Amino acid sequence: MAPEQLEGVEADARTDIFALGAVLYEMATGKRAFEGKTKTSLIAAIVSGRPTPVSQVQPLTPRALEHVIERCLEKDPLERWQSAHDVAAELRWAGKAPEVIARPRDSRLSWLIVLIAVAATAAITWRIAEIRREAPLIVHSAILPPEKTQFAFEIAGAPAISPDGKLIVFAARASSADAHALFVRPLSSPTAQPLAGTENARFPFWSPDSRSIGFFANRKLNRMDVSGGAAQVICDAPEPRGGTWSRDGVIVFAPSAFGPLYKVSDGGGVPVAVTKLDVADGETDHRWPAFLPDGRRFLYLSRRFAARAEDPTPVNFGGTIEIGSTDAGLKKMLFASSSNAVYSRSGHLLYWRDRSLVAQQFNPRTLAMGADIVPIAERVFRTGRWDAAFSVSDSGALAYEVDSNRELTQLTWFDANGKPLGVLGAPAEYAFPRFSHDGRHLALALADSTTGRTDIWIRDLARDAMTRLTFDPHDEWTPIWSPDDSHIVYGSDARGSGDIMMKRSSGTGSEEVLYANRSFKVATDWSPDGKTILFQQENSNAGTDWDLYLYSLEERKAVPFLRTPFAEIGASFSPDGRWVLYFSNDSGKPEAYVQPLSGSGAKWQISTNGGSRPHWSRDGKRIYYVSLDGKLMAVDVYATGDEFFAKVPRVLLQTNMKRYVGSPFDVSPDGRILVTVSMNQGDLAPLTLVQNWTAALKK
């Protein structure tokens, strides 16, 4: 692959010359021109490295041949031979040129090398011509993140290619701890430009004329001209899940993670619902809309969950791709899916299935599906929001991100002052570590490397043995120990939208549904007296956001603890049970706070200049949190009567923790800190760009 392909610039005949040079180099030396232990290092070698001179590897090589190969491998296409005919002509000349310093025996050998190179060039040139006559050329290239940044697909959503195939917009950031922004880049150039005013923007999508983008930021749906100008707010969108723009100036979007789709004018106005949830069938939300060519009908993903404890009537589980219309008069189910789907002008639907991107014929007029499903790309990344990282243009350009096992983490020990002490076990897809109160066991979520499904496991720290606690084929997360360590509460998708489950920590007996409804929930702590479960619930449909609730194990019911228009997340009880620690975005950025459990209304800010995922020490005298730039901070705290006091925060260590709801670290009873440290650079990997991908459908 030539440097311009790796930089996402359109390929031409000179790209083939670079490939020819690599073949000739290997023929002459027996070694590859560019090598790397990893994909990233190989890309770096091709883009900026220089191969060892041929004459250093093979001293018998004629200087004329070396010159031909070197010019084939020039980084700049303008500096290369401009055609295979030019290369063949130079090689024939090289075969005639005498090597004045060579001994006769060596000269015969060097000319033999030249003759072989000439023959190889002729064969390769002929084959290139044959391939071009046989079928349009499928060109793969790579799009690298802007210098000193990394992509932010996991938090901000997939890249989006403009309908005319000339531009691509994506999110990037300086590091995993920094805020991200949108960048726009011509596919014909390696240079991307940041779009001012798009900080923390998510889920970008294009206008049909390729001149503007829509995106979500600050709980709003926005639009912006890519040629310049400020972002314009269109309407509210508190917890969005995608949008699509018609040529009639209508935007269909999901303003909430749980609810129907709405339409609104691209000039602003009051949104109007265009889909309706079938509650009896278990529908919880509609998301990731994508218009069909008529600009009236659209694809979307409908998600359904299983029967609730309060409603034993069986319903479906999973997702389906459906079709709706802007007049709200159509609802047609196409097929089961766990990700979004888009229509391609080739006459296919593209969607994610079993970690691959596939294409299936589709008639946008009759809405009929073809029978054949054709794989397009393997190991395509999909997030927990059920959106796959791919985009396709009307002109036939396709971009996607490869799933690089980005969740691989290493459990790492640090002392109370942030000094590293070593690792615990081998790297795996760990999340949400939580120590038992006696410090002998560690509960955590572990994803299966094959299926991607997450279960709760328990590690015996003395024996260094792992035991699986849950076996459901759906995801489980955020394990919470009971005060006596006899039970574990956790979240599960098995029966619904993040229902709260309980099971004996010994693994004996069956699991029990503690609390289930149609809103997404995450259990975050168990009170020291063993009577109450603290959890957060997503309530954007009710006009708030994430709110905190107290679930009574005695009364088997939940009551609100803290409900505001903002998000309150990651709450936990103080060790004495008097205080509740959480973080909220009520100031415009996340900050950690403490409130009394009594609900007096008073609160104290613990973090300074931003902080999330706070955690108590086991003695309640210290609070830990993660700063906006990814540092693990420590704050000494104390209470006097009904007053709470916090000292100045101090830095313990720099982390690269992943941004999820539960805590990515925990503090053991002896004061050591266990952190999940990311082991890979998924967002540093390039995007794959495929020009003329539809040619693969004809094979």
Q: Which pLDDT band holds residue 388 (cuts at 50, 70, 90)?
A: very high
State how far the alpha carbon of 293 is from the alpha carbons of 130, 300, 351, 519, in Å. Answer: 36, 14, 17, 34
**In the numeric block, which tokens belong to residue 652?**
């313990």
Select from 362, 345, 350, 339 the least CA-distant residue to 399: 350
Among residues 229, 264, 295, the one where a domain terminates is 229
State how far the alpha carbon of 115 is from the alpha carbons of 24, 25, 30, 696, in Å. Answer: 12, 14, 16, 36
Question: From CA 335, how far away is CA 471, in angstroms rounded?
Answer: 27
Among residues 95, 126, 156, the one where a domain terminates is 95
Residue 220, in any domain of the structure = yes
Question: From CA 25, how far away is CA 373, in angstroms rounded?
Answer: 40
Residue 57: give its domain's CATH number.
1.10.510.10
Question: From CA 666, how far away is CA 525, in angstroms rounded?
Answer: 13
Residue with tokens 């031909």: 68
Residue 437, in any domain of the structure = yes
Residue 116: strand, helix, or coil: helix
Report the domain count for the chain.
Answer: 3
Question: From CA 635, how far away is CA 623, in angstroms rounded?
Answer: 5
Question: From CA 604, how far away is CA 606, in angstroms rounded?
Answer: 6
The answer to whether the beta carbons of residues 358 and 350 sit under 8 Å apart is yes
Question: From CA 430, how far away is CA 674, in angstroms rounded?
Answer: 12
Residue 554, pLDDT above cutoff 90: yes
Residue 66: strand, helix, or coil: helix
> 155 and 86 share a domain?
no
The tens digit of pLDDT for each residue in 174-210 reads 866 567 999 999 998 888 999 999 999 999 999 999 9
> 603 and 489 share a domain?
yes
pLDDT confidence of residue 354: 83
> 599 and 505 share a domain?
yes
> 488 and 599 share a domain?
yes
**Does residue 114 come out as left (phi exceeding 0), alpha (psi in the -120 to 50 range) or beta?**
alpha
Residue 219: strand, helix, or coil: coil
Q: What angle do CA 661, 664, 665 make, to 5 degrees?
A: 135
> 494 and 589 share a domain?
yes
Question: From CA 514, how far away is CA 511, in angstroms rounded?
Answer: 9
Residue 305, in any domain of the structure = no
Residue 8, in any domain of the structure = yes
> 438 and 511 share a domain?
yes
The tens digit of pLDDT for each residue in 70-79 reads 999 998 888 8
> 51 and 186 share a domain?
no
Among residues 95, 119, 139, the one where a domain terminates is 95
Sign, CA dihedral 200-203-206-207, equals negative
Looking at residue 9, what DSSP letter applies? P
How many CB atoms are located within 10 Å of the residue 619 CB?
A: 11
Residue 290, in any domain of the structure = no
Residue 620, in any domain of the structure = yes
Cα dihedral 420→424→427→431 (10° resolution): -90
How many CB atoms are located within 10 Å of the residue 351 CB?
A: 24
Residue 638, in any domain of the structure = yes
Average pLDDT over all residues of the chain? 86
The tens digit of pLDDT for each residue in 647-674 reads 999 999 988 765 444 578 999 999 999 9
> 477 and 614 share a domain?
yes
16 lies in which domain range?
3-95
> 74 and 166 share a domain?
no
Question: From CA 690, how far away is CA 304, in angstroms rounded?
Answer: 33
Residue 158 phi/psi, 5-degree rounding, is -70, 160
Range scoring the smallest mean pLDDT among 78-82, 307-311, 529-533, 558-562: 307-311
Residue 651, in any domain of the structure = yes
Residue 310, pLDDT above cutoff 50: no
> 567 and 633 share a domain?
yes
Residue with tokens 């020990």: 413
**In the numeric block, which tokens belong to residue 12?**
């031409």
> 164 and 70 share a domain?
no
Select from 455, 511, 461 the least CA-distant residue to 487: 511
> 91 and 151 share a domain?
no
Residue 463: give its domain's CATH number.
2.120.10.30
